[in-house]
Each structure stands twice: as C-alpha cells, then as structure tokens.
Structure 1
Amino acid sequence: MAARGVSWPTIPGQDQTALRPAAVLVLLGVLDDAPARHPSAAVPADLDVLLVARSDELTHHPGQVAFPGGRLDPDDGGPVAAALREAREETGLDPAGVEVLGTLAPLPLPVSRHLVTPVLAWWATPSTVGVVDQRESADVFRAPVADLIDPARRGVVTSRRPPTFRTPAFEVSGRVVWGFTAIVLDTLLDALGWAEGWDRGRTLSRP
C-alpha cells in the first residue's frame, strides 16, 4: 500500500537538482513500558515511534533527531529495503519483526541533496535496539506518540543556515525534534487526525 496522498511543505535549499534517493523508517509500535504523560483520545498511551539522535560528528544534520534511514544502495531494490537495511545498521533492529504498511510521497531535502521516501511500518515483534556505531548515532530511543501530540510540547524552530525557514518542532524525551523529522511527524499527525491545536507562534530553542 502506498499512501501518496500526503502533501509535504517545501523545504528551501540552494539546489534542488540531482537529488539522490534515500529512505527513512517511520516505525510505530508498543515499544516499551514507559507510557506517555499526555492523555490523548486519539492514540493509546503506550504507542511509540522509534527515533535516533544523530552524532555531532556527521557532516549533514549533526546532532539532530531523525528516523533511522539513509541513502539507497544499488542492491536495495527500493526505498522499503533501504529503510529496513539502514534501520538494522543504525539500531540493530531485526527487520523480521517489522510489518511495512506503505510508503509516503518522497520529500525533497535540498540541504543534503536527497529525495527522501518515508516508509511507514508497524513493529509487530519488537527487538532490542541501541546505538550500533557512535560515529553515526548518539542515541536510539522511543518517543511516546501522545507526548508528540501534546500542545504544550509543540512549537516552531527557525534554521540557522541560509536560506532560513521555519519548521514544526516537538519537545520529547529531553530533546527538540525539528527539521525534516518534525515535518514528517507534523504532517502525519494531521493526516491521521491525531493532532490537537497548538500554538504555531511559540518558538522553541533548537540544539
């Protein structure tokens, strides 16, 4: 199933030509025993999404919170295989426990010259995950979806490098999620009818 009806906002960049294909895994599941603090009528308190804090040593998006993922390799055969491979390499995830629900429309990310396909999946049989390579990831963690919905944890962040632009942002698990990852989360919450009204004039401090 390919859910390609999602409409993404435009991310400004210096060059939107010659974008390289990439994919990320948006993995939902009942992933741990720490329930969300925010009560939501839309989602259960134990629904989580898997996120990775990128290493500060990386050239692109250092220190940012992201979905597991990366560039397509010639042997991947498509974005689904690439997203699962990258998630395994980054977090130790066992792809056998993942049920792929579909792909979303690719989103151009000009700053790193990638065209990124989000792969939506359900973690039917969770496996142990953690940092595999500290040169790439500083942390692997599970964020409660209901806490992402919480209006008190939501706001906007302005990029520091030109061309500057604003993205949605979330405060969760002691981190600020912004940029590409926050755009995908914000769009999905709206598309699924899970979002609650939040203050789009509230500015969060990015790392």
Structure 2
Amino acid sequence: MFTEPKPPFDLHRLAARPGGASSDFDLNPGLVLSPDRILRPAAVLIAVTGSDSPCPKVILTKRSSQLRHHPGQIAFPGGKVDPGDDGPTGAALRESHEEVGLPPSQVEILGSLPQHETVTGFQITPVLGFVRGPFTPIPEAGEVDEVFEVPLAHLLSIPRYSIERRMWRGSWRRYYTVPWGPWYIWGATARILRGLAGRYSE
C-alpha cells in the first residue's frame, strides 16, 4: 500500500539507490528500436529548493513557444553535454545557469539518477541537487517562457501520475503525466519524475 509522501525527504538516500535506466518507450513494448541507433548525451538538473523547509519544491521550466523542438513543453533545466563540460553534472549546472540563472555555486550535488532515452535520440542523465539559499529565476530569453516550482511531495506521490496516449508516427504512444496547476507535465520529464517517485516508494 502506498503512503503519501511527507517531509522530511531523504534525497541523499534516493540518489544512492540502485536502479535501471528508463526510456520514452517503457509503456510501448511493441516498439522495436534499432540496435544501431546513435544517442546524444544530455543532462538535466532536478533542482530542489527549500530543502530545509516543510515544503521543498522542484524547479521546472516551460520551453519557449518559438523553439523548433518541443515548443511550450515542460522540462527540467538542461541540455546537451558539450565537450568542455565536466561530464553530465557540469552540463546540467551550465545549462541551468544559462536557462534559469541558477549559479552553480548554489547547488549541492546529491548524485545522478539512472539514464533516460528519449524519442528524439538523447541519452539523458538526471542530476539531483539542492539549491542552497535564496534564488530568483531569470528565464533565458527566447528559450524559456516560464520558470515555476512544483512541491516535491506532489512529484513523489505515485497516485498523482496517470498514463495517457497520443498518435505518434502512425501508432499510439503511451506516456506518463503528472499535471500541476496549469502546467501539463508529461513525456520524458514525467517519466524521470515517475522514476524518482518509484525509488521513494521502495
């Protein structure tokens, strides 16, 4: 029986737990993936604010509606791992600084979660971290329309997740959703968060 999450949350323990990789195809077992596909490394930051408060929250963004890829979708701060980055953690911190103005020095890294493969050919490493001290987001013009926060308790609650579907390349594709207020959180972002919720419930 599932117990509704209540603070305090031991995110150090969650980050240390072993677990398998996930993908956008988890709910679509009939889809056959090419063994020769090439995946591009990427990283996102699951940034938790108010770790010492009764209601810690996770920073999310709404991508600009003007972007060519995934316009208007809800996402973590993050992006491709560049050659000059210090691995996925360095990429997640750099992208978070660029996209939402989060100084890397304010982030206490707790660890990385299992990788996630997307339908767009990325292998994402989710990096979990605490944001220390006050932080006022500065959305990157042209890239980010909104920066908002969702209570961690909501995202760790498995009953908050549902499975929906839509037509993709001629067949039905199923995916997780975890809506919050006016924001429709779905796809890779919801799948990564669902993995975090699953680790919490174990």
Q: Which 5+ residue runs of structure 1 have no aligned equivalent?
A: 32-43, 195-207
TM-score by length of 2: 0.79
Q: Per-residue deviation at 1:3?
A: 4.2
Q: Per-residue deviation at 1:173?
A: 3.2
CA distance in 2, matches of 1:151, 1:117: 22
Q: Name the aligned partner's letter for residue 46 of structure 2.
A: V
CA distance in 2, matches of 1:99, 1:90: 18
1:22 equivalent in alignment to 2:42: yes
Q: Per-residue deviation at 1:144?
A: 1.0
Does structure 2 retain, via aligned residues, the 8 Å contact 1:106–1:115? yes
CA distance in 2, matches of 1:181, 1:29: 18
Q: Per-residue deviation at 1:6?
A: 2.2
* Worse overlay, 117-126 or 175-184: 117-126
CA distance in 1, matches of 2:134, 2:96: 13
What does residue 170 of structure 1 align with? 178
1:128 alignment partner, SS class: coil
Counting matched residue pairs gives 181
1:63 alignment partner, SS class: coil
Deviations 1:23-50 (A, max 9, x none): 000111218xxxxxxxxxxxx7511000
Q: Which 5+ residue runs of structure 2 have no aligned equivalent?
A: 1-11, 26-30
2:99 alignment partner, SS class: helix
What does residue 157 of structure 1 align with? 164
1:62 equivalent in alignment to 2:71: yes
Counterpart selection for 2:123 from 111, 115, 119 = 115
TM-score by length of 1: 0.77
Counterpart selection for 2:96 from 83, 87, 92 = 87
CA distance in 1, matches of 2:133, 2:184: 28
1:192 alignment partner, SS class: helix
Alignment of 1:41-80 (within 5 A): 45-80=54-89
Q: Per-residue deviation at 1:171?
A: 1.5
Deviations 1:123-152 (A, max 9, x none): 12232113122x211100111122335677
Q: Per-residue deviation at 1:60?
A: 2.2
2:179 alignment partner, SS class: strand
CA distance in 1, matches of 2:146, 2:41: 25
1:73 alignment partner, SS class: coil
Does structure 2 retain, via aligned residues, the 8 Å contact 1:60–1:112? no
Q: Per-residue deviation at 1:76?
A: 0.3
Does structure 1 retain, via aligned residues, the 8 Å contact 2:65–2:71? yes
Does structure 1 retain, via aligned residues, the 8 Å contact 2:57–2:151? yes
Q: Name the aligned partner's letter for residue 143 of structure 1.
A: V
Q: Name the aligned partner's letter for residue 127 of structure 2.
A: V
Pair 1:151–1:18, CA change in 2 (3 A): closer
